Amino acid sequence: MKKIRFFIALMAAKLARFLLKLLGRNASYLPGEVALKISKDFLGHLKLPETVICVTGTNGKTTVSNLLTSILAKNGYSVTNNSFGSNVQAGVAAALLADSNIFGKSKKDIAVLEVDERSSLLVYPYINPDYLVVNNIMRDSIKRNAHTGFIDYIISSALPEKTKLVLNGDDMITSNLAPQCKNRTYFGLDAEKPEVSEKPFLSDIVYCPECGALLESEYLRYNHIGRMYCPSCGKKSPERDYLCTDVDRENSTFTVSLKGKEHTFNLINDNIVNIFNFTGAIAILSEIGLSVSQIEKGFSQSEIVKSRFDTLKAGKLDVTFIMAKGQNPIACARCFSYAASIQKENKLLLIDIDDLHDNINESESTCWLYDCDYSYLADDSISEIIFTGPRCRDQLLRAVLAGVDKNKIILEPDVSKAVDLIDTEKYKDVIVLYELYRQPDADKMKIQIKNLGEGTK
Amino acid sequence: MKIELLFPEVCGLYGDAQNYEYLKKSLPDAEFIVTDFLSTPYFFEKDPDIICIGSMSEEMQRKVLDKFRPRKDRINELIEKGTVILATGNAAELFCEKIEYITEKKETEGLGVFPLTAKTDLFKRYNGKVLGECDGIEIVGFRAQFSFIYGDNSDCFFLKMIRGDGINKESGFEGMRKNNLMCTTCLGPILPLNPLFTEYIISLAGGSEKAAFREEAMSAYEKRLAEFHDPKVKF
Ligand SMILES: [Zn+2]
């Protein structure tokens, strides 16, 4: 009976997909939802590719799964991937069924599935991934993700014992996930160790998960990311099997020690968060059997998705666009930190990070601003900040509370008017931080800035 | 004035920790005592004027209660004396009779200040907005929680709701109050979100200082207040 339901679900979903495609509509979610409506355990009946890799974690899922998909494809593998669609259960189902035949058997070699942490219980028990890559687990959307203890609980409860875990060994929460999975390997960073670790603005793990004593750290890069140990019971961050030992920013390369031998790869982007992502990607590619030269080739021909990080020259203006994940305090703070670190002086920041949907007949919860470290914006190299969007007054209050000089801040509630406030006489370097779902704003701003910089307006 | 901040390293989810920062900026001359979870709270033996505790994980709720339960009498003594105690998010639940954890099939005994029970279900996340009134001040806030509180709080509420749910979806009264113990399910940054309420708390503790960055805070507060009163804005 279950089998029959599955085939009905598969046919209905394939029909839905065909019709959506015919209408030129997005088919990366709805067919999956149709299938799951008819057959709840639809995912469990699919004949999956030979290798199934899932990617999860708070920050970097999309970057890693895009990169894996692109490197695998460059090396001749056929890949099922959902990164351009949805990463919840229906998105995973839609991606898998799109690449399966009428019997539900996959036509691809490998599946690289980005899985939202909260979908763990709806995905892993059905597809039993061969590998799970976890970049990090940290504070995320208050509304959806609650706290890291909750995320740890659902991922750990959902994973079958046989899944091999590829974990960030420099994240004490991630490295302790799912103790039932004995087959685990760790990646991390030794390059550019901070000499002094300041007390992080916030940390999602403070006490030893084994004995409850206060954890100490050899060093911390940001939040709880770094090397920790417990002086009481001896618990410590695990040894890393894949270790980034050097980053050469000038020549855009990074070195990773793979099973004791060092290899150099093309550095696609030099943000520290991405160097973790890249090292994690190398770890999983190596685990599934790609040779070093295959991985090197993949990195040499890859670039980070343009929409996440882009630069633009407009007359005298040098403009950097950085996508920031709103409602996600640590990801956003990372973007602030990065914006403060690039281009050394007299720069202007234009910040458009209010949630799009939560401000249409809504009023966005701004609690997350208070978990986000705004003190990066007090950096001397930032001469002016334009906060734009419906919550700009809240942004101002948060920033001054974090020590940003209020005389440096300009507010413009109307996003379409924000670019007009850029003083091209005073500033050459402009950094635009925009929210994930505000890509259309960013696209419009690019045109406005081009006109402004080239004096055509 | 002495202000004790309890366990900010573990009871500071959802921006709660910045409530403290806002108080610090508002009360530059006050003495701030930050107590971490492994230390003995200052209030066990001495008398702070304000005590703050914020949102935490469910596991932490149980640990905090284990620490507080033996000092229930002292906590009641402070409440009777009129010490200002502000518990935000699920710290409010500590003062109920009992907390039930439906998903984990556990329950724990609370401090029993209010004859109420909190029930937590990790598979039911609730998000909401708060527009309510406390001693003539309109309070705006946000909620994000796995739990609701059940029982009758009509004679011990913190806010009389204007819009939004109370302690549960059927209730018109949010949070609990006894003397100056204020328990609210509103998340942490309730103070920077509400400069007038911040000044009210300070006055209850005997101060007369104004809220920090008053102009900026009032501008954000008034904008939000107008939105929350706007029937087009969904609650
Ligand atoms: Zn320990």
In the DSSP assignment, the letter for residue B8 is T
Can you give the pLDDT at residue A304?
Answer: 65
Residues of B in contact with A232 (CB under 8 A): none
- Chain A, nearest residue to B142 by Cα: A365
Rounded to the nearest whole angstrom, what is the distance from the C-alpha of residue A229 to the centroid of ligand 1? Answer: 8
Distance from CA of B135 to the nearest CA of A (A): 24
Can you give the pLDDT at residue A2?
Answer: 78
Can you give the pLDDT at residue A454?
Answer: 86
- In b/e form, how buried is each residue of A298-318, taking b as 16+ CB within 10 angstroms? bbeebebbeebbbebebeebb
For B125, the closest of A146, A203, A394 (CB atoms) is A146
Distance from CA of B113 to the nearest CA of A (A): 27
Contact A114, A83 (CB under 8 A): yes
- In b/e form, how buried is each residue of A153-189, taking b as 16+ CB within 10 angstroms? bbbeebbeeebbbbbbbbbbbbbbbbeebeebbbbbb
Distance from CA of B10 to the nearest CA of A (A): 8
Instruction: Quote the Cα angle for A297-A301-A304, to 5°.
Output: 125
ipTM over 0.85: yes
Distance from CA of B136 to the nearest CA of A (A): 23
Q: Three-class SS of residue B140?
A: strand
What letter represents residue A326's amino acid? G
Residue A436: phi and psi, rounded to 5, are -40, -50
Can you give the pLDDT at residue A307?
Answer: 56
Q: Three-class SS of residue B186?
A: coil
- Chain A, nearest residue to B222 by Cα: A393
Domain range A47-87+102-300, its CATH number among 3.40.1190.10, 3.40.50.720, 3.40.50.360, 3.30.360.10: 3.40.1190.10
Distance from CA of A380 to the nearest CA of B (A): 21
Rounded to the nearest whole angstrom, what is the distance from the C-alpha of residue A176 to the centroid of ligand 1? Answer: 13
Can you give the pLDDT at residue A259?
Answer: 79
Residue A436 tokens, joined:
């994930």
Can you give the pLDDT at residue A1?
Answer: 76
* Integer Cα distance of A409 and A396 in angstroms: 7
Look at A367 and B192 and tell me if their CB atoms are within 8 Å.
Answer: no
Can you give the pLDDT at residue A7?
Answer: 93
What separation in angstroms does the CA of A80 have from each of A29, A57, A105?
14, 20, 12
Contact B206, B155 (CB under 8 A): no
Q: Which domains does chain B have, with CATH numbers?
A: 2-229 (3.40.50.880)
* Integer Cα distance of A224 and A141 in angstroms: 17
* Integer Cα distance of A197 and A188 in angstroms: 17
**Whole-prediction pTM:** 0.93
Strands A216-222 and A131-134: unpaired
Look at A363 and B14 and tell me if their CB atoms are within 8 Å.
Answer: no
Rounded to the nearest whole angstrom, what is the distance from the C-alpha of residue A234 to the centroid of ligand 1? Answer: 6
Look at B59 and A150 and tell me if their CB atoms are within 8 Å.
Answer: no
What is the per-residue pLDDT across B120-157, written as a single tens digit (0 to 9) for each? 999 999 999 999 999 999 999 999 999 999 999 999 99
* Integer Cα distance of B98 and B109 in angstroms: 5
Interaxial angle between packed helices A2-22 and A30-38, expressed in degrees from 0 to 180 and rounded to the nearest 10: 160
What separation in angstroms does the CA of A199 have from each of A222, B53, B210?
9, 21, 30
Contact A312, A319 (CB under 8 A): yes
- Chain A, nearest residue to B192 by Cα: A397
* Integer Cα distance of B147 and A361 in angstroms: 26
Residues with Cβ–ion distance below 5 A, ligand 1: A 208, 210-211, 213, 230, 232-233, 235
Residues of A in contact with B192 (CB under 8 A): 370, 397-398, 401
Binding-face residues of B in 68-127 toward A, CB within 8 A: 122, 125, 127
What letter represents residue A375's amino acid? S
Rounded to the nearest whole angstrom, what is the distance from the C-alpha of residue A215 to the centroid of ligand 1? Answer: 7
Look at B192 and A397 and tell me if their CB atoms are within 8 Å.
Answer: yes
Task: Give yes or no for B18 touching A (CB within 8 A).
Answer: yes
* Integer Cα distance of B47 and B31 in angstroms: 12
Give the pLDDT of chain A (457 residues) as one tens digit per residue: 778 999 999 999 999 999 999 999 988 999 999 999 999 999 999 999 999 999 999 999 999 999 999 999 999 999 999 988 899 999 999 999 999 999 999 999 999 999 999 999 999 999 999 999 999 999 999 989 999 999 999 999 999 999 999 999 999 999 999 999 999 999 999 999 998 777 888 999 999 999 999 999 999 999 999 999 999 999 999 999 999 999 999 999 999 998 789 999 999 888 888 999 999 999 999 999 999 999 999 998 877 665 577 889 999 999 999 999 889 999 899 999 999 988 778 999 999 999 888 878 889 999 999 999 999 999 999 999 999 999 999 999 999 999 999 999 999 999 999 999 999 999 999 999 999 888 898 999 999 999 998 886 5
Look at B188 and A370 and tell me if their CB atoms are within 8 Å.
Answer: yes
Look at A362 and B57 and tell me if their CB atoms are within 8 Å.
Answer: no
* Integer Cα distance of B22 and A108 in angstroms: 55
Contact A309, A269 (CB under 8 A): yes
Distance from CA of A315 to the nearest CA of B (A): 36
- Chain B, nearest residue to A203 by Cα: B9
Look at B188 and A361 and tell me if their CB atoms are within 8 Å.
Answer: no
Question: Is A362 or B3 the better-scoring residue by pLDDT?
Answer: B3
Domain coordinates of chain A in residue numbers? Answer: 1-45, 47-87+102-300, 309-454
- Chain B, nearest residue to A153 by Cα: B122
Q: Which fold has domain A309-454?
A: Protein-Tyrosine Phosphatase; Chain A (3.90.190)
Contact A57, A117 (CB under 8 A): yes
Checking if the pLDDT of B50 tops 80, the result is: yes
Residues of B in contact with A365 (CB under 8 A): 127, 129, 142, 144, 187
Can you give the pLDDT at residue A301?
Answer: 82
